Chains A and B, each alone.
Chain A
């Protein structure tokens, strides 16, 4: 009887350990996402006809993969298809709370006055997508420009096991 109880206890302990051990697929953020970026901008300056303010809008789409890398860290990789600059790689990191830090858009490091605030969103404990917004500003030969961009995305599927 004692032996049976000991064996039963050992089996229960093993089951509990297995249940709480995190695995790559257990992380709810990992998976494939489809994203869209909407850019609204203004440019103010002066040209040969005097001062001006132009407004413009643009849209881009892309794909992201949230994955655990070889060091078991949550990362983002993917791309965004832009109208004028072609396909640009996207890179970043995801925190345990789903906050995303983007470190690369295209070949260049993020180097202008880009702010971004992106996060993965859950509904009822289930990951459904991501959203974020940001601003970018700068100057060119025509004047000063300010872009506001909004990114939304949804999870399309889980990673393979």
Chain B
């Protein structure tokens, strides 16, 4: 989940160089001589500067600016020459780092750790385990296992299994980093390991990430694996939901056929919701037909919910018309309760219409009370205005429950 970050906009300061209007007389011999000497002087300075300039192969440690740059907090937005010097040094370091795929290129500490993880992963782990328990520690753990998995994934996997006492988030980080790399080289073994790891720890994250990575890299191989492998309840659910989601994003009609032919009955409902999510974005009418397909009617409730959630996002009017024109009364009853939930925060008056159309007496009162109560919390003036207009059609006990008026004498 990526959230937009708030950024303080700092004004840039520009120095406008003003061109000189002075005229220089080049025909004067003294002036020409002076210019020649000045040019020679500048040329000598240029040569001396390049001779003394530090070479690019200096090590990171030699530059002595490591942690101060990585973790210091900025104070203000003013221009500071020393900061720009550090930035220049950092940009030189960037040319030296071999691979930045998982490391913030501005963090030389992690680059050093990466080197250590290549040469001696256990020493690198000792270093990570001694760090303060924060986001940097997790990032470092991921880096070490990322490197270790490239060279000796079995050893990395054994270390995790033998050190299950490691703090959970750190262990999960390690398992995810290992599985993500391992699944790229030997997917069947990597996936099998993540399943074993889940059975030992009940931690599903490594399996989830490995299956997503594999499905994105090689959908055909992952599909074959899904057909030939039988998982338990939890892992089976995760495997189905994640795989079908990725398949549907790439080819929703292919995924639809695959689900019908290959998904076990117990996960059909989960798979169908993933199909409907993607199909509704592309073609809501086709998705609506899929929901009403005879062999999908067992899952009508969850399928309708998936359809209406996406459809009301893009074309709420069309979704509402379809509910009125295409569903039978029992299906409409389901749809009304879902539409009441979908509209309740943004258009509560529409949500109440659907709530009031429900046939189950208790559920109708519960839903209407719930919507009115939230509406009064969020926008009391608008809610009370609506209630005052419609009070004759509302149950007085319900109005008392939401604090609109007091019935007791």
Q: Using a CB–CB distance below 8 Å, which chain A residues touch chain B?
A: 32, 34, 39, 41-46, 48-54, 56, 58, 61, 63, 65, 67, 69-71, 73, 75, 77, 79, 81-84, 86-87, 89, 91, 93, 95, 101, 103-107, 109-115, 135-140, 142-147, 156-158, 160-161
Bound CA–CA A137/B172 (angstroms): 13
B10 → A minimal CB distance (Å): 6
Interface of B is mostly: helix
Given A91-B273, A137-B139, residue A157 in contact with residue B367 (CB < 8 A): yes
Among the 9-residue stretches B32-40, B44-52, B70-78, B218-226, the one with 4 or more Cβ atoms under 8 Å from chain A is B70-78
User: Is B130 on the interface with A (CB-CB < 8 A)?
Assistant: no
Given A46-B87, A54-B6, A104-B245, residue A75 in contact with residue B270 (CB < 8 A): yes
B203 → A minimal CB distance (Å): 9
Number of interface residues of B (CB under 8 A): 82
17 further contact pairs, Cβ within 8 A, besides A49-B77, A58-B3, A137-B139: A39-B3, A41-B3, A50-B87, A53-B73, A67-B301, A67-B302, A69-B270, A71-B268, A79-B309, A89-B310, A103-B241, A104-B245, A104-B274, A109-B246, A113-B142, A114-B1, A143-B104
**B residues 346-392 touching A (CB-CB < 8 Å):** 358, 360, 362-363, 366-367, 370, 374
Pick 19 A–B contacts, CB within 8 A, sort by A.
A45-B106, A48-B87, A50-B83, A50-B84, A51-B83, A56-B5, A63-B345, A70-B301, A71-B265, A84-B4, A91-B241, A91-B270, A93-B234, A103-B241, A106-B1, A137-B138, A138-B2, A156-B370, A160-B358
Q: Using a CB–CB distance below 8 Å, which chain B residues touch chain A?
A: 1-8, 10, 69-74, 77-80, 83-84, 86-87, 90, 104, 106-107, 135, 138-139, 142, 169, 172-173, 176, 204-205, 208-209, 212, 233-234, 237-238, 241-242, 245-246, 249, 265-270, 273-274, 277-278, 281, 298-299, 301-302, 305-306, 309-310, 313, 337, 341-342, 344-345, 358, 360, 362-363, 366-367, 370, 374
